[in-house]
Amino acid sequence: MTSLNVKEIPDNKGYYLAGFADGEGSFNLSFRKRKDYSMPWKISLCFNVSQKDKVILALFKRHLKCGTLRSRPDGVWYYEVNNFTAIQENVIPFFRRFGFLSAKKKRDFAKFMQIADLIKDGEHLKKSGIRQILAIRKQMNDGGAGRRKYSDAEILKLVKSEESSETIRQA
């Protein structure tokens, strides 16, 4: 991954890609069970766009200087960025610079940035931070609950309370 200097992106390309992402892009958050983490969940932010035409997605990869491009068996191409550093240093600055017109995408992006800040500050390693992240996630992508693998209750059930883990450490 190469660090992004948004000033180097021509306005016409930047606004075109932002407009395309406004209609076809998605900002997501996923929880994956992990036994090798201090918390039972790996929390990942992801920006993605899928399309039958690979050319536009290749433009995203070239101008954002990060992410992966792959095809699905149904012939649809998929551009995805889920590396946290790339999200912080490339994706967020790009969309801060070029922005969105739709209220929905502006809202989802603002929530995405809030979650990124919580993760950057280490809040995702605390039960209280996970509660905050889940509350913000509820406000993204029109709730998105029907497409989630794990409910908020399932996620919180596996997270030991900060108080009990602190008590264990002191004992």
Give me the mean pLDDT over the 130-157 stretch: 82
Contact 93, 65 (CB under 8 A): no
d(C-alpha 64, C-alpha 59), whole Å: 8
For residue 31, is it within any domain? yes
| 52-78 pLDDT, tens digit each | 999 999 999 999 999 999 999 999 999
pTM of the entire predicted model:
0.86
CATH code for position 125: 3.10.28.10
d(C-alpha 154, C-alpha 81), whole Å: 26
For residue 170, is it within any domain? no
Looking at mean pLDDT, say which of 42-46, 90-94, 123-127, 157-161 comes out highest: 90-94
For residue 169, is it within any domain? no
| 73-125 pLDDT, tens digit each | 999 999 999 999 999 999 999 999 999 999 999 999 999 999 999 999 999 98
Sheet with 25-33, strands from edge to edge, namely 25-33, 41-51, 77-81, 68-71
What pLDDT is stored for residue 78 in this prediction?
94
> How many domains, in total, are found in the chain?
1
Confidence bin at 143 (pLDDT 50/70/90): low
For residue 2, is it within any domain? no
| Containing structural domain, residue 21 | 8-162
For residue 167, is it within any domain? no
Handedness of CA 138, 142, 145, 147 (dihedral sign): negative
DSSP the chain: -----GGGS-HHHHHHHHHHHHHHEEEEEEEEE-SSSSSSEEEEEEEEEEES-HHHHHHHHHHHT--EEEE-TTS-EEEEE--HHHIIIIIHHHHHHH--SSHHHHHHHHHHHHHHHHHHTTGGGSHHHHHHHHHHHHTSGGG-GGG-SS-HHHHHHHSPPHHHHHHHHH-
What pLDDT is stored for residue 70 in this prediction?
94
Terminal-residue alpha carbon distance, the chain:
44
Give me the mean pLDDT over the 15-32 stretch: 94
Q: Is residue 46 scored above 80 in pLDDT? A: yes
Least confident of 27-36, 83-92, 128-137: 27-36
Mean per-residue pLDDT over the chain, rounded: 87
